[in-house]
Amino acid sequence: MTRRIPTTRRALALAALGLCAAAAAPWAQAQAWPSKPVTIVVPFPPGGTTDVLARALAEKLTLSLGQTVIVESKPGAGATLGADYVAKSRPDGHTVLMGAVHHTIAPAVFKKLAYDLQKDLAPVTTVAMVPNVLVVNAANPARHVADLVAQAKAQPGQLNYGSNGNGTAQHLIGTQFENANGIQLGHIPYKGSGPLVTDLIGGQVTMSFDTVTPVLPHIQSGKLKALAVTTGRRSSALPDVPTLQEAGLKDFDIGTWFGLLAPAATPKDVIARLNAETVKILQSADFRQRMAAIGAEPVGNTPEQMAQQIKADVEKFAKLVKDARVVLE
């Protein structure tokens, strides 16, 4: 004989099942992601810090996510082409950006951008902070920042510096360096650190303010000479190199952060899982050791903390750009 469940009890049971299903839905969606390979878009050519960090992270995420994580370079326009590409990508968590501090500078230096950094991209986590360093070719006789400044004053407009592109942190540091010392330098924008470092070693460029990562091996080999780091404290990778503040440039403190961002409409549970997996990697001893070897300091904050950082940097750099009068089409 079939036992009939009273209508009221059946309704309550169905409602309870419905509540359980609703509560489990976000977790199920997060569990379903990723359902295909994940692409980390790097807005610079291979060889720079952004690329190095993205590839190191992709290797670890491939293992933790159970899906292949690939790195794709989309350089150009001061890192904004890659950012625009990700902003307009399908918001399913399978295409993310390895962004950088450059993207908080871009809104102030470009008259028009095809995307809105704070509206079209969702922060995931800051991956690392990397100091910038003033370097010159080993053949340059300058041993200190003051020597380089003296050269520039003796040859107005003859010395130049390379950057990772118009509107990047290196470009802005260069303009600040000029203004702080009352000198005039030529600016040569590159699409990334790879070609810039090649020309710096070859003597086609006088100096650069690149991040530590791409120039560290060449400093260690003696091909390049480090004169100062641009952050407020010394780099653990270059403990004997003074800061620009120590070299006499008051309040000079600019470094470069790198972090993951996704299209704005990406589900929050997907962002939460990507954040959790990334932070776990950043906290691991072997990854921290790997980052220390390239002069990077792992961070691993929350999406909310990264959003606050982006907002603060956009405001800070808007003022610095205005004071430096750097405007691009």
Look at 107-111, 195-199, 206-210 and tell me which has the smallest mean pLDDT.
107-111
For residue 13, pLDDT beyond 80: no
Q: How many CA atoms lie within 13 A of 34 on its CB side?
A: 22
For residue 25, pLDDT beyond 50: no
CATH architecture for segment(s) 133-229? 3-Layer(aba) Sandwich (3.40)
Per-residue confidence (pLDDT) for residue 147, from 0 to 100: 97
Q: Under a CB-based contact definition with an 8 Å cutoff, are residues 44 and 79 in contact?
A: yes
Tell me if 33-128+256-324 shares its fold with 133-229. yes
Residues 66-95, mean pLDDT to the nearest whole number: 96
- Among residues 193, 71, 205, the alpha carbon closest in space to that of 132 is found at 193
For residue 328, pLDDT beyond 80: no
Confidence of residue 1 (pLDDT cuts 50, 70, 90): very low
For residue 107, pLDDT beyond 80: yes
Residues 302, 133, 111, 312, CA torsion sign: positive
Topology annotation, domain 33-128+256-324: D-Maltodextrin-Binding Protein; domain 2 (3.40.190)
Per-residue confidence (pLDDT) for residue 24, from 0 to 100: 44
pTM (2 decimals)? Answer: 0.82
For residue 14, pLDDT beyond 80: no
CA 222 to chain centre: 27
What are 260-276's pLDDT values in tens digits? 999 999 999 999 999 99
The torsion angles phi and psi of 22, rounded to 5 degrees, stand at -65, -40
Cβ count within 10 A of residue 47: 18
Confidence of residue 30 (pLDDT cuts 50, 70, 90): very low
Per-residue confidence (pLDDT) for residue 26, from 0 to 100: 45
- In Å, what is the CA distance from 288 to each residue of 276, 292, 297? 16, 6, 8
Q: Under a CB-based contact definition with an 8 Å cutoff, are residues 184 and 152 in contact?
A: yes
What are 173-190's pLDDT values in tens digits? 999 999 999 999 999 999
Q: Under a CB-based contact definition with an 8 Å cutoff, are residues 169 and 230 in contact?
A: no
Name the percent of the chain lying above pLDDT 70: 90
Residues 197-223, mean pLDDT to the nearest whole number: 96
Residue spans of the domains in the chain: they are 33-128+256-324, 133-229
198: its two tokens: 């090649």
**Residue given tokens 């403190």 in the structure block:** 253
Residues 66-79, mean pLDDT to the nearest whole number: 94
Per-residue confidence (pLDDT) for residue 9, from 0 to 100: 54
For residue 6, pLDDT beyond 70: no
Q: How many CA atoms lie within 13 A of 90 on its CB side?
A: 4
The contacts of residue 41 (CB under 8 Å, 6+ apart) are: 72, 73, 74, 82, 85, 86, 95, 96, 97, 98
